[in-house]
Amino acid sequence: MYRVHSLAILVLIVGVCLISLLTVPAHGDLKGDLYHLLTRSIDVLQRMVFTYQTTQAVNYLDPLTRNFFLHLIKHEHGGSYSLAQICDIYDYCYSHWTYVSDPDQHEYIASASESIANGLHGDCEDFAVLMAAGIKAIGGTSWIIVQQQGYDGHAFAQVYVAPTKTYFDTHVVEYLRNRYGNAQRFVWYSDIRELNFGIWLNLDYTGPRPGSPFLFDHAETKNIIPFWGTQTEPSLQLPK
């Protein structure tokens, strides 16, 4: 029902703007200003709809979703929210994920419970939703980043792991290298310094381990959808 309402609002805005464009006299840059207003309005509405749908899809309190992620935590990693638990979740979901595109001409966002029910099949947005739900289910903080490079779009999740770069380098990176060995030579992360949000570890399905490389080299960030948890940075107990 929400998608129907969103589509109706979008059609209404587009219609009003188009009528304005067609009826405005052709002098000055007024038509150009209206065109930019139209494109900005559509972009803002699309982001609002995507944010709402994505937020609803991260249904970490659904029993199917929560129980799924709880069962992924290894016995030796039980206890308080930790980086070990984050890695347990990522390792399983990455190794069992099958990428399948959306239906043609449709941006379909599957809920976490739906992806679990279909055997972990979906596209980048679906995997990002799954990761965000998994982090929330065990008490952590994550966000989903939406990027665009040229005509290509991509969405991926990240998890908050450290307050500072120094803490990240001396604790988080050490843990990852202890767990994954020489395969974890480099660790990719986000650090939005001007927002003072700390360090966020990459959880993109395109890499086999947490902290794998970004898909895009020179992307424009279009949207960031946060999912704040109750915990601060995760415990860094070394894997047993």
Whether 88 and 35 share a structural domain: no
pLDDT digits (tens, 9 = 90+) for 17-49: 555 545 545 555 666 666 566 666 667 777 888
Confidence of residue 107 (pLDDT cuts 50, 70, 90): confident
- The three-class DSSP label of residue 198 is coil
CATH value at residue 175: 3.10.620
Q: Does residue 83 carry a pLDDT above 90?
A: yes
* Residue 195 lies inside a defined structural domain of this protein: yes
Whole-prediction pTM value?
0.82
Residue 71: CB partners within 8 Å, gap ≥ 6? none
Share of the chain above pLDDT 90, in %: 64
Residue 194 shares a structural domain with residue 94: yes
User: What strand order describes the sheet that includes 189-191?
Assistant: 189-191, 199-203, 152-162, 142-149, 220-227
42-80 tens-digit pLDDT? 677 778 888 999 999 999 999 999 999 999 999 999 999
Give the residue, 112 or 1, on which the prediction is more confident: 112
Residue range of the domain that includes 25: 1-57
Average of per-residue pLDDT values in the chain: 85
User: Rounded CA gap, 77 and 80, in Å?
Assistant: 9
Quick one: pLDDT at residue 46? Answer: 78
**Non-local CB neighbours of 230 within 8 Å, separated by 6+ positions:** 139
**Shared domain check, 127 and 65:** yes
